[in-house]
Amino acid sequence: MDCHLLVPDLFWPAAAGSEPYRDLGLPALETFLARGRATRTAGISLERWLAAAFGLPGELPLAPYSLLGDGGEPGDHWWMHADPVHLKVHGKRLILADASRFALAEEEVREFVAALNAQFAPEGITFVAPRPLRWYVRMADEPRAHAAPTVEMAGRNIESSLPAGDDGARWRRIANEAQMLLHAHPRNEAREAVGALPVNSVWFWGAGRARRLVSPYDIAWGNHPLAAGLAAASTVAARPLPASAAPFLKEPGGKTPLVVAMLPPTAYGDIPGWREAATALERAWLAPLLAALEGGALQTLTLHGLGPDYGYTVTLRPGDRFRFWRRRRPLHEYAPRAEQRESCGVPTFFETPARSFILPRSSLE
């Protein structure tokens, strides 16, 4: 079995430096990086990585596949993500907080979606929300507009990243109208009254129509709807991610499985939460998979560790464990040095000291 383990947010934005990894003991991950065949990669999000792996074009027509993974039926319609977000003025910047920053009750979502549909039905746009924190819009005609995935905009200034393309102006207008509607919605007034973040905008991206795909994997394990939807469109099995590698190793279900293991987003600067989750990932997945490789249960193990500014792809084979001359190094030594960080293309918003390089949750609420 040639196992591929995909871990988004395994590496922090370059501006964070080495601080998130300091004194963090992850011996299995350190063994991967030291003894495997490692290639440093450019920064990339989960969405862009999966799109490339499944042969989808650069403008990321991913919405129908996420909808499919969420249990919806894309049919022959055109779809876009319409993710609920919170926008906050921060100095001269308009900063986006994605749905990971708040909770929404189903009753709230029904009322938000009903109001949006009443507003935009004359334009042939229908909002649907198969999950409280994931919304979509359906259209009969192709929306010739594109924008970055919401996850890439989290904690960042949106003003230079609004919908672009032939229909970009139209979708910027629709977004503005949605903001005005949501700003005045009674549900948002009620949320603000109890100190909860209002849902004051939607982020449109991922326009596309579903088609049959070819998967490079025999099976996809994970809880992310995009991975499940891409697998379904490729007619390969998709299974939920178990709590640890043990059930996966007992029933791998394919010669080339893809395992998608999520970590908390680094965009909001929660270093303690990320360190706790990374330690749990080490125990539940990295160490057992490394042991399975050494025991012969795996033929190869490839780790795709992603980050917004840099990452690593590491392939390990059973014999690589004998490369003892390649000594393990602590994880913080893999972070870019100051001179390297200057060339990583870090957005302007990150150009502040490492511990405050991103908008913390407390300043959004």
Are 166 and 226 within one domain? no
Per-residue pLDDT, 213: 97
Residue 181 to residue 82: CA distance in whole angstroms: 15
Answer positive or negative: Cα dihedral of 6, 9, 11, 14. Answer: positive
Query: Which of 159, 175, 208 is the endpoint of a domain?
Result: 208
**pLDDT tier, 364 (very low <50, low <70, confident <90, very high otherwise):** very low
Per-residue pLDDT, 338: 54
Tally of structural domains, the chain: 2
Are 260 and 163 within one domain? no
Are 124 and 160 within one domain? yes
Enumerate long-range contacts of 144-147, CB under 8 Å, 24 or more apart.
144/207, 145/80, 145/170, 145/171, 145/204, 145/207, 146/59, 146/60, 146/205, 146/207, 147/203, 147/204, 147/205
Per-residue pLDDT, 343: 44
Q: Is the pLDDT of residue 333 over 70?
A: yes
What is the domain-level CATH number for residue 30?
A: 3.40.720.10
Are 224 and 343 within one domain? yes
Quick one: average pLDDT of 335-339? 68
pLDDT tens figures, 165-182 = 999 999 999 999 999 999
Quick one: average pLDDT of 36-57? 95
Are 151 and 203 within one domain? yes
Quick one: average pLDDT of 265-279? 95
Q: Is 25 helix (H, G, I), strand (E, B) or coil?
A: coil
Per-residue pLDDT, 2: 93
Q: How far is CA 14 from the centre of its chain?
A: 17
Query: Which of 208, 223, 258 is the endpoint of a domain?
Result: 208
Per-residue pLDDT, 356: 29
Per-residue pLDDT, 340: 53
Query: Is 0.85 topped by the overall pTM?
Result: yes
Are 187 and 282 within one domain? no
**pLDDT tier, 359 (very low <50, low <70, confident <90, very high otherwise):** very low
Are 178 and 105 within one domain? yes
Query: Which of 170, 189, 208 is the endpoint of a domain?
Result: 208
Strand ordering across the sheet containing 310-316: 37-42, 310-316, 300-305, 2-7, 257-260, 219-221, 237-239
For the chain, how big is the Rg over CA atoms in Å? 21
Per-residue pLDDT, 92: 84
Residue 208 is inside which H or E element, if any? strand 201-208
- Determine what percent of the chain is predicted with pLDDT higher than 70: 92
Look at 103-107, 136-140, 316-320, 337-341 and tell me which has the smallest mean pLDDT. Answer: 337-341
pLDDT tens figures, 193-235 = 999 999 999 999 999 999 999 999 999 999 999 999 999 999 9
Are 330 and 298 within one domain? yes
Are 152 and 193 within one domain? yes
Are 204 and 248 within one domain? no
Are 223 and 284 within one domain? yes
Per-residue pLDDT, 90: 85
Quick one: average pLDDT of 106-133? 97
Are 252 and 350 within one domain? yes
Count of other CB atoms within 10 angstroms of residue 209: 15
Quick one: average pLDDT of 185-189? 97
End-to-end CA separation in angstroms for the chain = 46
- Residues of the domain holding 165: 63-208
Chain position carrying tokens 């390297």 = 340
Q: Is the pLDDT of residue 185 over 80?
A: yes
